[in-house]
Structure 1
Amino acid sequence: VAVVRPALRSAKAGAKERNGGIDALRAAVTLLLVFHHSAITYGAIGGWYYKEIAPSISLSGVLLILFCTVNQAWFMGLFFLLSGYFTPPAFDRHGAAGFVRERVIRLGIPLLVYFLLLYPLTEALAQTAKGRSFISVFVYQWMHARFEPGPLWFAEALLIFAAVWLVWRLLRKSAPAADRTLFPSNAALLGAVLLTGLAAFLLRLVWPVGVNVGFLQLGYFASYIALFAAGCAAASGKWLERIPAPSKRLWLKVAWIACPILPLAGLVDLRFHVFPGPSEGGLNPQAVLYAFWEPFVALGFILGLLAFFQRRFAVLNRFWASLARRAFLIYIIHPPVLVGVAIAWRDVAAPALLKFLLTGSVACALCYLVAGVLLRVPAIARIV
């Protein structure tokens, strides 16, 4: 999404800087994000504008909750990793002033548009399901300055991360030499995973998952910060493009083994109450397990997907190239599109899983088409 827009636009500096696999992965995970929010609409846990079915322990509810829980462990972290990976090259191309200008344009303007237009529009659309007037709700949002970034919290976070990185880079005064050292050892990766889990646990003692500070859920930011920093460190040596097959296999296996541990612990606790306390944060076994479970799952899935997509999509066909070009815009516009699709057939009785799949699929298709139309506007094309 916003994460690799600079990379795609880096064609100005030479097509060799493009990476078809990373472009395709970014596009695919953007569509996964649409399905993630569709899952929340129909029974998963999470914040969203319109929820048609409340979370429950029904089969569909459990499956959708599991789907979103696993997604949350890695997919936004992947975006931060890729964003960090393309941050140093963007600075090298543009210089300090150009780097700031690019970030403000490509992240700040979409963030402002979402605040002032897409958030009140989506909220007003969602309220029509409760019989309220679209126009009256939209006007109310404006009159009372009820603005939020929605999914564009990601752009907000990237602006903060980019500013911190820029200060560090300027204080360093000289660019780091190209790092051609080997990909980090498994021992180093294990240490990073454990430190990230510990940091997440400590952060959630103060800001449990679900608590917003300046529109940011800081309880998730241990992994986001770690992965953004890792991306920056990996850039000079192009580590993400040189993932050793043994490391990928090992950590992907670890991720698959770890994946069922958290839901199994939740099921055991429901039956026997042996893991007291909320997993969102606190001094309790569930919070410890959740904090350390996430980075183990994230590392394996991220390495596995990066390796797979770069092997499978070294060269993009027309569809994938088009999808990659539209991905950031799909990310920006998907909330009102998804909410609109869900509301359009809210009175149709159908199983939750079927609604989840159909609503997500139709929303993805519509977002793809709308993004294509919007990119024909030169001003929009220059920004995204």
Structure 2
Amino acid sequence: MKREGRSLVWLCTTISVLLFAEGIWRLADPGVGVDNVASSSFQGANFILFCVFGLCCLYWPEKPAPSASKDEEPAAGEKGVVGLDVETPAANGEGAERCKEEDAPGAKPPKRQITYLTNLKTFLTFIVVTHHTVGQFTRPVGAGLSTVAANFLSPDLQPKSSFLTGGSWFQSVDQAYFMATFFFISAYFCPRSLDRKGFKKFVIDKIVRLGGPFVLYSAFLGPLLFLMCQAYAGQPLSYSYNTGPTWFILWLLNFSIAYAVIAQFAPTLKLGMPHPFVLLAIGAALCGVFYGMTVALGGSAYAPTAWNYFGSMVFWAYGLAMYIPFFAAGVLAGRNDWLKGVEEMQTWVAWTLRVVCVGFWTLVFLMTAEYAIPIPSIEAKQWELVMNLIPPVYAVAMTLAIMQLFHQYFNAQSSLMRWAGPTAYIVYAIHFWPMNLVMITFIEIIKAAGVPVVFEGLVFFSTTADGERSLLPEACIWGGWVMLFVLTQLVVWPLGFYARKAPVLDMMF
């Protein structure tokens, strides 16, 4: 145990120092485009503050407890300090833990199974990987090499792409809820973790479990991945800061430490779970915040403007109107056991939520179907208005519906899910690497088949007989996506399973 304690101190110290170094890097090299000076300066200060929190919690002297009892918290490095005991893993990176709730102090109610949260986290991680494989063929994205299924080269040409229709629909219905759900599930376990570990151990746990994977990707794996993609595409080489999917881990670390600080002086709020329809009404109110932020940040929730990505947040309309409220709701849910309300939800309420979700899916399909199916009266402005309004209320309905669905049907752990559950966090963090290696393989296959390929940045196109850029054939796009989806999923899960057993990684993941 002493050796484990020393290892934890060494690891947390190293991660804290690396966060400080990354903060200095952000201050010295602010980058360009959406990575502006203000954003980089904010991040520099953010990372240095993480370092201060980590080192102070490790080395700040504290008075020894007057007496020790058998029920006392384990010392640093022992089981329970780094979140390996009772916290159910969310796709944020909380590691693999038991799938039963711990009894509250002083009471011994029957333990109830919350395996469904582990299964939900694993499923959502699978969806995240799928989401990014689809994105490689629908629009230029920040995930490495990509092509596009839409003819954006000329505004006068209306693309007729079945892949764009299906892919845009899938990404739209995902983007509007799944990261908010991740924040909610992650926050649910924060109150119990903070109560059990205390402020110092809680912060040390977060620095190791969240700060470590973030530094690993943003300072090393992410820059190296884009360096490889730039070299392959024949583009100018640059080793630059890149958060990739770990932007979520960064902001989860921010929210978690902010909660721990606030909890030291704020009174505990006792609030039973509101009726699901009341939560829907709150979601509807947040739609106004979402729309206002969208207009302020460029007229689209996905506008590639500097302020929309400030501090590596991916879309601040989502951040203010969904991610912060959902994290706060997760804390309230954890403190007041809202899961019981979800588990005991009346059948008619559950089916109403499901119908609401399907209604949103249908609405989004009608908005995206214009790319391949001529539908009168559907215009781009109407599509933008809908997608600039509905995400918060849809996210509330979807989160409640999918949690209830998994409790009802997926509250047991099969051998496959028992293997995949602990792996989901590292899969989330590293899946861009196998995805881009498969993408390179696909490009080499179509080049060998005689399809000429040209690059503009990291976006690739085929060319016409006169050398002009053109889109890949529809069959080629569908075939490429199927290859990318299948091989990425087949590679990244076993890779993650064995990688998290490596020294150091086994303490972070």
Task: Answer yes or no: is 1:252 the counterpart of 2:340.
Answer: no
Q: What SS is found at the alignment partner of 2:329?
A: helix
* Counterpart mapping for 1:336-351 below 5 A: 336-349=433-446, 351=476
Q: What SS is found at the alignment partner of 1:6?
A: coil
Q: Deviations over 1:226-283 (max 9, x none)?
A: 2111111111333235311333221121111122223424557987677565xxxxxx
The farther-off stretch of 314-323 and 32-41 is: 314-323
Verify the 8 A CA contact 1:19 1:314 in the aligned structure 2: yes
CA distance in 2, matches of 1:184, 1:331: 32
CA distance in 1, matches of 2:214, 2:280: 35
CA distance in 2, matches of 1:267, 1:18: 41
- Which of 223, 226, 235 pairs up with 2:334? 235
Task: Answer yes or no: is 1:295 the counterpart of 2:392.
Answer: yes
Q: List alignment gaps of at least 5 residues for structure 2.
A: 1-88, 104-110, 152-158, 447-474
Where does residue 280 of structure 1 map in the other structure?
none
Verify the 8 A CA contact 2:286 2:393 in the aligned structure 1: no
CA distance in 1, matches of 2:435, 2:370: 35
CA distance in 2, matches of 1:251, 1:131: 49
Verify the 8 A CA contact 2:95 2:425 in the aligned structure 1: no
Q: Deviations over 1:133-163 (max 9, x none)?
A: xxx83xx30xxxx102111000111122113
* Superposition TM-score, scaled by structure 2 size: 0.66
CA distance in 1, matches of 2:245, 2:496: 17
The ranges of structure 1 where at least 4 consecutive aligned residues each deviate by more than 6 angstroms after the TM superposition are 10-13, 268-274
Q: List alignment gaps of at least 5 residues for structure 1.
A: 278-284
Verify the 8 A CA contact 1:85 1:231 in the aligned structure 2: yes
Cα 1:187/1:23, change in 2 over 3 Å: closer
- Which of 195, 213, 234 pairs up with 1:92? 195
Q: CA deviation at 1:27?
A: 0.8
Alignment coverage as a number of residue pairs: 364
Q: CA deviation at 1:108?
A: 0.6
Where does residue 94 of structure 2 map in the other structure?
6
- Pick the structure with more helix per residue: 1
Verify the 8 A CA contact 1:13 1:93 in the aligned structure 2: no
Verify the 8 A CA contact 2:276 2:400 in the aligned structure 1: no
Of structures 1 and 2, the one scoring higher in RCO (CA 8 A, sep 6+) is 1
CA distance in 2, matches of 1:80, 1:316: 23
Verify the 8 A CA contact 1:45 1:65 in the aligned structure 2: no
1:153 corresponds to which letter in structure 2?
Answer: W
Cα 1:276/1:353, change in 2 over 3 Å: closer
Where does residue 256 of structure 2 map in the other structure?
162
CA distance in 2, matches of 1:315, 1:187: 28
* Counterpart mapping for 1:44-193 below 5 A: 44=139, 46-56=141-151, 57=159, 58-131=161-234, 137=237, 140-141=238-239, 146-172=240-266, 175-176=268-269, 181=272, 183-193=273-283
Q: Deviations over 1:104-159 (max 9, x none)?
A: 11111111111111111221232244235xxx83xx30xxxx10211100011112
CA distance in 1, matches of 2:168, 2:246: 23
Task: Answer yes or no: is 1:219 the counterpart of 2:317.
Answer: yes
Verify the 8 A CA contact 2:136 2:145 in the aligned structure 1: yes
Cα 1:148/1:17, change in 2 over 3 Å: farther
Verify the 8 A CA contact 2:101 2:114 in the aligned structure 1: no
* Counterpart mapping for 1:300-379 below 5 A: 300-349=397-446, 351-379=476-504
Where does residue 52 of structure 2 map in the other structure?
none
Identity of aligned residues (%): 21
CA distance in 2, matches of 1:233, 1:336: 36
Cα 1:81/1:189, change in 2 over 3 Å: same
CA distance in 1, matches of 2:146, 2:185: 31
Q: Deviations over 1:151-209 (max 9, x none)?
A: 1000111122113222321122x5455x5x3x422441232111221111111122242
* Superposition TM-score, scaled by structure 1 size: 0.85
2:210 corresponds to which letter in structure 1?
Answer: L
CA distance in 2, matches of 1:84, 1:348: 44
CA distance in 2, matches of 1:264, 1:188: 28
Cα 1:2/1:309, change in 2 over 3 Å: closer
Verify the 8 A CA contact 2:188 2:332 in the aligned structure 1: yes
